[in-house]
Each structure stands twice: as C-alpha cells, then as structure tokens.
Amino acid sequence: MGCITIEILIWLIYNYNAVTTFRKHTEHFWELQLAGGYVIHPYVNFLIKTMDQQLKDNTAYKELLQLARTKLLVVKIWKLPESVPGYREIAKVLLKDIKTIQQKCQGDNFESYLARVDLRYPSSEMEGSVPRQLAKVHQDEEGRLAAPEPKRYT
C-alpha cells in the first residue's frame, strides 16, 4: 500500500509523466543489501525526501507522504496483528490515520489542506546523486518481490 500511495502522490504532485519517469529509474521500492536484508531503494528515499521538502506542512499531500514513509514503507513486519513501533503498521491503525486525513478534507480549512500543488519532478537533480542498486532484487516467477531462497546445507 505504501508503494501505491507514493505513486499516487507522484501523479498528483507532479503529473503522470513523472510516474513513468519514476518507474524507469526503479522497478522496485526495495533492494537487497550485500550484507543481507532489504532496505528502501535509494531512488525512492531520495524522492520521498525531496517531496517532503517541497510540500507544505498541514496539507493532505504531506500527511499522506508521512503516512507512507513512517508506517507503510517499513521493511520490518510484525508477525502478530498488533501495532508495534519500528514495524509496518497494521490496517486498524492505518484506517484511523486515513480517516483523520479524510476529516481534515471536510473541515473548515479544507481549501488550504487540499490546495493544488504544481511542482517540478526532480529527475535531473536525482541523476548522479542516488547510489546505484547494491545487490540484485529477488523476484518470484511472476515478477513479484520475493525473499531469496535460503541456502540448504546437507
């Protein structure tokens, strides 16, 4: 859901062509480090930081970006259906956060909260400033992100 939220924000903030440019620079939001373990792709991180700097505080765009960054695009997943700091958020808490954003869209300051933004996609600034992928991303047969097969010892 974090990936979808980020792509929708790119579309709303910049334009659909920016989504196409974004997808050309990274096929996946995650990458596998050489030492093991997944991290958010550097290109995705760079764009999130750029949007965070460009967007005004107290707007729906900024709050959706913060939600995606802090609660959805989190590598660690808790095995039980409960909210645990440092792990990807559970649906119940996310629903509450999204409803809060929705209520603000209907509040007295909705015009400034939903103010249109017209920003330039920072593709030229990103060239050369984002490190290359550290290791190959593992995919299953259908192209979905997958954990690498564990080494089997006999």
At 59 the pLDDT is 94
Q: How confident is the model at residue 9 (pLDDT cuts 50, 70, 90)?
A: very high
Express each pLDDT in 48-104 by its tens digit: 999 999 999 999 999 999 999 999 999 888 888 899 998 999 999 999 999 999 999
At 110 the pLDDT is 86
pTM: 0.76
Q: How confident is the model at residue 17 (pLDDT cuts 50, 70, 90)?
A: very high
Q: How confident is the model at residue 146 (pLDDT cuts 50, 70, 90)?
A: low
Express each pLDDT in 89-143 by its tens digit: 999 999 999 999 999 999 888 888 998 888 888 876 655 555 544 444 555 565 5
Rg (CA), the chain: 17
At 118 the pLDDT is 80
Q: How confident is the model at residue 34 (pLDDT cuts 50, 70, 90)?
A: confident
At 133 the pLDDT is 46
